[in-house]
Amino acid sequence: MSKEFALPVVRNSVDTIRLLAADAVEKANSGHPGTPMEAAPIAYLLYMKHLRHNPTNPDWAGRDRFILSCGHASALIYSMLHLTGYDLSLDDIKNFRQFGSKTAGHPEFRHTPGVETTTGPLGQGVAVAVGMAMGGQYLAQNVDDELFDYRTWVICSDGDLMEGVSAEAASLAGHLRLGNLNYLYLDNKITIEGDTALAFSEDVGARYLAYGWHVERVEGENMAEIDAAMERAKNDPRPSLIVARTHIGQGAPNKQDTHDAHGAPLGAEELALTKQAYNRSPEESFVVPAEVAEHMRSCLARGAELEKAWQQQLAAKQATPVVADWLAVANGDLPAGWDAALPEFAAGDNKATRQASGAAINGLAPNMPLLIGGSADLGPSNNTEIKGERSWLPGQSGRNIHYGIREHAMGSIMNGLAHTPGVIPFAGTFFVFADYMRPAMRMAALMGIAPIYVLTHDSIGLGEDGPTHQPVEHLASLRAMPNMTVIRPADANETVEAWKAAITNRQGPTALVLTRQGLPTVDREKFSGADGLQRGGYVLAAEEGDLRLILIATGSEVQHALAARETLQAEGVGTRVVSLPSWELFEAQEQAYRDEVLPPACAARVAMEAGTSFGWERYAGSVIGMSSFGASAPAGELMKHFGFTAENFVARAKELLG
């Protein structure tokens, strides 16, 4: 080992990282001590030498990104953040996993300073990192290559690399030659159930070589070897995987290399023996020797200098149009005239909302250069192509991303792109395949980041592909997710308004749920304007005479509500039609507005939606929906068979009115 890493203060620092983590888990009587103990040398090298970061300003745009993908090892990142000078106190470490603490059981974005993304579900961190690396490459190649030459580092585990999402993401990263992406893989050969040989015997390094990655193998305690491998990784044009042979619970006399060090505290007796092995007093806890504190807080001065140099570069370049535009968007402002070129559609046009969405994307793109998107090999069906723009190819970022048939990874990569300052990512697939993206969609909602999902072929209306491709429960499922905004527009102009709502929603993800089949464009001179969508629900057609009945619908069923109203009004029944494309936007309105749209005094309400009726009871006493899966047949036949017609609306209304 080199003299640098043989210094007593270095070894003492590594041991302090280990024991702080073990003490935190022990005090909480909950958590994972073994992985922080094995990863301490790698984490030390990363934060102290290789990671470009500033503890006093964790969010400066030119920093390197670090993701602890194995989020169960959260005590590791908390130890590092405290020791290197982030706003995380020793008391926070002592309150590990306690209510209200900054040190949650798994790292949480916007909850703890220095945590770049929420991790916990294994595989999500490594996949999000691919999106972060793509975001960095996009900014470097399209804004400024000196300001955005940062890289993304990841510490990951066996569990991360077993999960399928990581394989999809790594395959794309290798194909795109993301040289700014580096994984540090803790090859400890232990999972909760025991030795990884129970279920995992592949050569991970060989698999990543096949993906097109640069791969190295090191010993997890050999800091000089790890350091040299990290330097080589930084200089390789491919993404890098450093396979570190580590030992879970490093230094615990009886629990090292056993699954007992994985998901439970070491126990008082074993922890005492471990401290003795590291020449520490068994009676003392949460000890940070003065020389360790001084040594590791050197990150403060180093980080300040790194950021100062970057800020000077930014100051020298911020007057250039492309950097100025990026800076404005990164600060939360939308470009002037961002919505000026959005299309308007004439009444009577028969247009699928997926087609209107494609037109909206291409109306937004010229004025929003950081709007980038793609599809999971369904671009022509999802209408997600930005016309006239480059594809994202190996070594060359473009605005059109081809994810391949990789929805799992696409959802997670979008989260990484959404973490990139200024970038607004969107991506499309069939609505039924949102199931593949669901873990990533949930993480986006949890973090309050704002990818936009273009989910087409939204119901049994997609027709002949049959029930495997016909989403019936998906609207209810996504509506059940906190902080997810779901919008199912009724026509082309509502679709344009839906895109406006998605672009201005920066507090969480938005799902645009769109039809395969053509829908009539509503006559907005006869009925209310489509901008009512911004409030989630609105009176599309007012009643004539006294209000006796309200028909409520979304998406492709709104046309049937309008036709049914015409019949009922002709029979003297005062009927109102409410378009309710987004429950979330509607529920965010003041109660007075909601009562204006849906007067409590009018209890006679019928709702229609080509999905399960689950949840609709909050708005209507009678619901026409799906109670089964669909079938394979032309869309028109299916809609009639399952009752999504104006005639059924009328029949149900008359039944309700008696």
Q: What would the pLDDT profile of 553-586 be if each residue is shown by its tens digit?
A: 999 999 999 999 999 999 999 999 999 999 999 9
- Average pLDDT value for residue range 636-644: 98
Active-site positions read: 407
Q: Tell whether pTM > 0.85.
A: yes
For the cut 50, the answer to whether the pLDDT of residue 1 exceeds it is: no
pLDDT tens digits along 31-58? 999 999 999 999 999 999 999 999 999 9
How far apart CA 494 and CA 538 sit, in angstroms, is 12
Tokens for 31, please give them.
Answer: 């958590």
CATH 3.40.50.970 is the classification of domain 350-520: yes
Q: What does the DSSP assignment read for 30-55?
A: -S--HHHHHHHHHHHHIIIII----T
pLDDT of 582: 99
- 3-class secondary structure, 351: strand
Contact at 8 Å (CB) between 314 and 323? yes
For the cut 50, the answer to whether the pLDDT of residue 157 exceeds it is: yes
pLDDT tens digits along 215-248? 999 999 999 999 999 999 999 999 999 999 999 9
Find the range with the poorest average confidence among 3-17, 20-34, 357-371. 3-17
Tokens for 245, please give them.
Answer: 């042979």
- Average pLDDT value for residue range 486-502: 98
- Average pLDDT value for residue range 607-623: 98
Contact at 8 Å (CB) between 647 and 641? no
CATH architecture of the domain formed by 3-305: 3-Layer(aba) Sandwich (3.40)
Share of the chain above pLDDT 70, in %: 100
CATH 3.40.50.920 domain residues, the chain = 534-657
CATH 3.40.50.970 domain residues, the chain = 3-305, 350-520
Among the residues of 46-187, which ranges form H helices?
Answer: 74-84, 90-94, 124-142, 158-162, 164-176
Sequence-distant (6+) residues with CB within 8 A of 215 are 205, 206, 208, 209, 240, 241, 242, 243
- Average pLDDT value for residue range 279-308: 98
- Residues linked to residue 583 through DSSP beta bridges, in sequence order: none
Tokens for 181, please give them.
Answer: 């992406």
pLDDT tens digits along 98-153? 999 999 999 999 999 999 999 999 999 999 999 999 999 999 999 999 999 999 99
pLDDT tens digits along 318-368? 999 999 999 999 999 999 999 999 999 999 889 999 999 999 999 999 999
- Residue type, position 322, single letter: V
The owner of tokens 């102290």 is: 48
Contact at 8 Å (CB) between 400 and 391? yes
pLDDT tens digits along 529-546? 999 999 999 999 999 999
Return the DSSP state at 530. G
Q: What is the 3-state secondary structure of 595-617?
A: HHHCCCCCCCEEEEEEEECCCHH
- Average pLDDT value for residue range 397-409: 98
CATH architecture of the domain formed by 534-657: 3-Layer(aba) Sandwich (3.40)
Cβ burial of 128 (10 Å; 0-12, 13-18, 19+) is buried
pLDDT of 3: 77
